Amino acid sequence: MINPAKRTNTIELSQIRKMFEATKPGAINLGIGEPDFNVPQNIKDAMKKSIDDNETQYTPNKGYIELREKIAEKFKKDNGIITDPENIIVTVGASEALYISAQAFMEAGDEILLPDPSFLLYESCINLAGGSIVPVDCKMENEFKLKADDVLEKITDKTKAIILNSPSNPTGAVMEKEDIKAIADLSMDHNFLIISDEIYEKIIYDKKHYSPAKYSDNVITINGFSKTYAMTGLRIGYLTANEEHTEELFKIHQNSIACANSTAQKGAYEALTGPQDEVHKMVSEFKKRRDLIVSRLNEMGYETVNAEGAFYVFPKIEDENFVKKAADAGVVTVTGAAFGSKGKGHVRMSYANSYENIEKAMDILEERVVNG
């Protein structure tokens, strides 16, 4: 075997995907972070039309200008971010946006502040870029919300960036406005970058989303269409940053991806400009499922924070064999340790599954794992 590049030594294959691919037939999957809804019909129709119209050539490297114009309007309306279409890049999902952010700005010797627990892709992107991870605890007593005071304690003269994710995968935590603004202020005072992953922005219950780019110029704001519009397989994300930062990001994007999928970009345009009824229905259904899974887990004695966004709960379950027991009983979950050292003693469960299946899964856990 030819030796791989040393950088791959720092990377492990996704434990989430391992669980997903090992799912037994008939098992209820509470492990995968993917909406169980279909792409809204108006978006499908727009993509079908684009193919019929032969709009299948390369697009501009940054994405169709009309799509970037609508994204700029969305940023202003929803996030209070004033940006120009030239400072927006349409990416192959939010994952590419995260990867190019790391490649453009991180290198050996840089310290990157990372919430613990957090989505496992962040750690991989940092490691591939050569950065050093400095974890910042997201404590259960704070409902897993990242606090500005905890961030301040970890800042040094080597701090290059921090990754924020609100609402959070894996905890469902939604950061408070005062912490978002305080961290934005810190980024200006100490001259570090904020990489703000806002992919779950629209899936929030009884709270409001705040973007750090409203308060700081040192921010790369990342979003996409996968979660809000159930467009996971279509791989369309986007980012914005100031002009200087965008130029560096564009170097990586242009020389690795060229452009995002043309047909999916047409669907994304329709997603932003068309009716939002299906989004509202989806979020309302997620909230009902959240209420169900939280109440059932607490009733079983697994302390569970009432997650305020996304579609995950992160119950405290200290039985190290729980995930295996649950899988053997027919319910797929993910060990919290996959998301950082502070995830140990927790389990991530996704409620991106039907209400009926969640009810059935909770019955199985209660009968065969808790009381079995």
Q: What is the pLDDT of residue 17?
A: 59
| Class of CATH domain 55-273 | alpha beta
Contact 144, 286 (CB under 8 A): no
pLDDT at 23 over 70: no
pLDDT category of residue 262 using cuts at 50, 70 and 90 = very high
DSSP states along 279-331: HHHHHHHHHHHHHHHHHHHHHTT-------BTTEE--B---TTHHHHHHHHTE
Contact 348, 336 (CB under 8 A): yes
Q: What is the pLDDT of residue 19?
A: 58
pLDDT category of residue 84 using cuts at 50, 70 and 90 = very high
Contact 105, 248 (CB under 8 A): yes
Q: What's the count of helices (H) and strands (E) in the chain, helices before strands?
A: 12, 12
Q: What is the pLDDT of residue 344?
A: 97
Contacts 24+ apart (CB under 8 A), 364-368: 364/28, 364/329, 364/330, 364/331, 365/300, 365/326, 365/329, 365/331, 366/296, 366/300, 368/325, 368/329
pLDDT at 15 over 80: no
pLDDT at 128 over 90: yes
Neighbouring residues of 262: CB distance < 8 A, sequence distance ≥ 6: 50, 55, 56, 57, 58, 59, 64
Contact 351, 290 (CB under 8 A): yes
Neighbouring residues of 115: CB distance < 8 A, sequence distance ≥ 6: 135, 136, 138, 146, 163, 164, 165, 168, 340
Neighbouring residues of 291: CB distance < 8 A, sequence distance ≥ 6: none
- The mean pLDDT value for 352-370 works out to 97
Q: What is the pLDDT of residue 14?
A: 66
- The mean pLDDT value for 111-132 works out to 97
The backbone torsions φ and ψ at residue 312, rounded to the nearest 5 degrees and listed phi first, read -130, 150
Asked if the peptide bond before residue 40 counts as cis, ω within 30 degrees of 0, the response is no
- The mean pLDDT value for 190-198 works out to 98
Q: What angle do CA 79, 82, 87 make, to 5 degrees?
A: 110
What is d(CA 220, CA 101) in angstroms, rounded to the nearest whole number? 8
pLDDT category of residue 3 using cuts at 50, 70 and 90 = confident
More confident residue, 174 or 20: 174
| The model's pTM | 0.96
Token code pair at residue 81: 């971010």
Q: Give the chain's mean pLDDT.
A: 96
What is d(CA 81, CA 92) in angstroms, rounded to the nearest whole number? 22
Q: What is the pLDDT of residue 16?
A: 61
Q: What is the pLDDT of residue 25?
A: 75
Q: What is the pLDDT of residue 12?
A: 77
- The mean pLDDT value for 314-340 works out to 96
More confident residue, 289 or 12: 289
Token code pair at residue 77: 């309306």
Contact 335, 347 (CB under 8 A): yes
Q: What is the pLDDT of residue 143?
A: 97
pLDDT category of residue 7 using cuts at 50, 70 and 90 = confident
Q: What does DSSP say about strands 111-116 and 28-29: parallel, antiparallel, or unpaired?
A: unpaired
| Class of CATH domain 6-39+277-370 | alpha beta
Q: What is the pLDDT of residue 6?
A: 84
Q: What is the pLDDT of residue 302?
A: 98
> Domain map of the chain by residue range?
6-39+277-370, 55-273
Predicted confidence (pLDDT) per residue in 212-256, tens digit: 999 999 999 999 999 999 999 999 999 999 999 999 999 999 999
